[in-house]
Structure 1
Amino acid sequence: MTTTTRQNPPRTGAPEDVASYDARELTGELGQAYLTLDGQLYTLRITRAGKLILTK
């Protein structure tokens, strides 16, 4: 898996030296991705309303 950084700065004013990812590219056609942190599995998904949900 490759990481993709955004071409345009985020609207939130996040610093440029912080990694930034496009959620639609990250979640793919299914709108869902799995992330791990310290051995814990999390699910990131995009709802029909276009909101992001992160669950453990």
Structure 2
Amino acid sequence: MTAIRPAEFQQPGASVLARIPQHDATALTKGGNQALIILDEQIYQLRITRAGKLILTK
């Protein structure tokens, strides 16, 4: 899967992608490297690696 950079949302034909909610991972982690995400009473951990990749685990 390829990450989509915000500038690509401005290109013609990207209107479908522009309607998808966007969240900055560094904002979710409040500048750190971890955040907890809750879905249907299940807790997931979002981590930003040193290489700048995202890992989501249950």
Distance across 2 between alignment mates of 1:26 and 1:42 = 13
| TM-score of the pair, normalised by structure 2 | 0.67
Match of residue 42 from structure 2? 40
Structure 2 gaps, min length 5: 1-5
| Partner residue, 1:22 | 24
Distance, in Å, in 2 between the alignment partners of 1:22 and 1:29 is 10
Distance 2:31 2:23 in 1: 16
Structure number with the bigger relative contact order (C-alpha 8 A, sep ≥ 6) is 1
RMSD: 2.2
Percent identity, aligned pairs only, is: 48
Moved over 4 A (4+): none
Work out whether residues 45 and 57 of structure 2, in 8 Å CA contact, stay in contact via their aligned partners in 1. yes
Give the gaps of 5 or more residues in structure 1.
1-6
How far apart, in 1, do the equivalents of 2:43 and 2:27 lie?
A: 19
Query: Aligned residue for 1:55?
Result: 57
Q: Look at both structures and tell me which one has the larger radius of gyration over its CA atoms.
A: 2
Larger relative helix fraction = 2
Q: How many residues align?
A: 48
